[in-house]
A and B are shown apart, each in its own frame.
Chain A
Amino acid sequence: MTRVPGLLLLLAALGAAAQPARRSGFEDMSPQTRAMQRDDAQNPGMLWVQDGAALWERAPGPAAASCAGCHGDARVSMRGVAARYPAWDETLQHPVDLAQRINLCRERHQGATALPVEQQDLLALESHVALQSRGLPVAPPADERLQPFRVRGEAAWRERIGQLNLSCAQCHDERAGQRLAGSPIPEGHANGYPLYRLEWQGLGSLQRRLRNCMTGVRAEPWPAGSAALVELSLYLAWRDRGMALESPAVRP
């Protein structure tokens, strides 16, 4: 599937690029909010996970298989999956994120329609799958076909946008640890998604958060589900490599 020499080079590059110590947004939170994330009895994200577990067992239509029908016990089959998304899709010939993968499965293997972006059932399934990788290191696939998309994602990370004319890198690389309007600026990692954001009073995806950030700098946010968002997610997964997955996280 992947060409060997290119793969070796890529592995070398990934390994050699020594990952500096990364600080999860978890560390920036108060002890009480951290307790909310750590304690499954209190973590509101677990309500969505519970929903997702039920949806996993349910067939989307009379003639269709449920997720469990092909994948069996999610605790076994989905272990490690969320940690390596976004990943390459052979048919579409570009990377897809976890939510898109779930929708592709629905369309291709379950005879169902794709769920709209940020729809509650889709978030529930995504959080159920992501939970199975909790604690595992973010492991972006060493697939050289992803490289051009990752490069574009990184370019987007460094591009100044919006009326405030700020790039992601300016806040989250250069000024992480400083404060903006009283709140600490996190490094902006994507290792806890989908997560329960207190600001949303609900669970949401990485795409939602990225679009929020764009609105925050007074830029027109890219449409939900757009390729640019997936490319940026792909770059973020590489940037987060090695960090423990925290899904479903809690963030202010």
Chain B
Amino acid sequence: MHIPDGYLSPATCVTLYAGAAPFWWIALRRVKRALNTRLIPLLSLFSAFSFVVMMFNLPLPGGTTGHALGVGIAAIVLGPWASILAISTALLIQAIFFGDGGITALGANCFNMAIVGSLVAYGLYRVFAGHAAVTARRRVIAAGIAGYVAINAAALCAAIEFGIQPYFFHDASGTPLYAPYPLTIAIPAMMIGHLTFAGIAELILSAGVVAYLQHSNAGLLQFTAPESASEGLPRGERAKGRSLWLALAALLLLTPLGLRAVGAAWGEWSVRDFADPQARRQMAGASLQHVPPAHAPNGLQRLSSVWTAPFPDYAPAIVRNQSFGYMLSGMFGAGLIVLAGIILTGLNILIQHYQLRLHGEASVTSNAGEQNR
């Protein structure tokens, strides 16, 4: 799912670089704090390992290739932030040195694989592993699930990025300037291969390596096990956070119920609804039998042309199946909200950092105290 140069418009590339930047920033600060430990060589090793893993290409139907990422184990051993840096490094070296995924698309690739991948893998691992012992079987299963979902989340992001190109970026005659396939094609093409081969490869890799570590070097799994959580939210808060995510997931799954509703919601009428007899009857029915005015109000007419939402009527033009389009829009919308939330959280953490700095945080370049046996 590496995106080469030329598939994403500059606007998309810049947006994704901007989206990745706060995460890189935070990750760097966190890792710098741990520079005086064995994290650096370990991080570089996982980065190299991920690079090598990505070389094992599996041919997929549709002429593309899929591969495992190694993001699952990176997040499980190193924690999410170091994992972000590790996978981003592997992608950078691939882009520059091996010309595998473009330089302009680096932000996008890092956003999908390093950032979304790491956060999803880490989050799911923590949720499913719970408070199990470091050597428990449950952690192996959690690792497998985390890796599988993470790589598919990354693939979905890439597919969406591909798929929206034809809508936004074409020239006057309608020629797509970048990736030419709409969402209806991009998403299945990408997801089929990742829900199957690549996803299973990542599952086996994540679960296999965790099992191996449990038996040969269990200390490495300590960092993401609750007993040693250094950036600890108190237990109660973590539970609350978890239930929020579950609730969001449940809501997403229930979106198709919205299709059962007939007609437009009250007040959300468009200009042409005022002219359409059937729509007028609905409006009246919903408004205690008050008859709507003959023409749309002036203000409504003037302002309705200001913003044409990317997905008018919640379904992209080319999507034939209405329910599919509806759900897609729902997920896209929820995704945007989550993204906004993550960015805002990131900004919040940044602001807190600076406040701490102003009030004299202890020096970050400390000492060789962390000797390891």
Q: Do A and B bind each other?
A: no
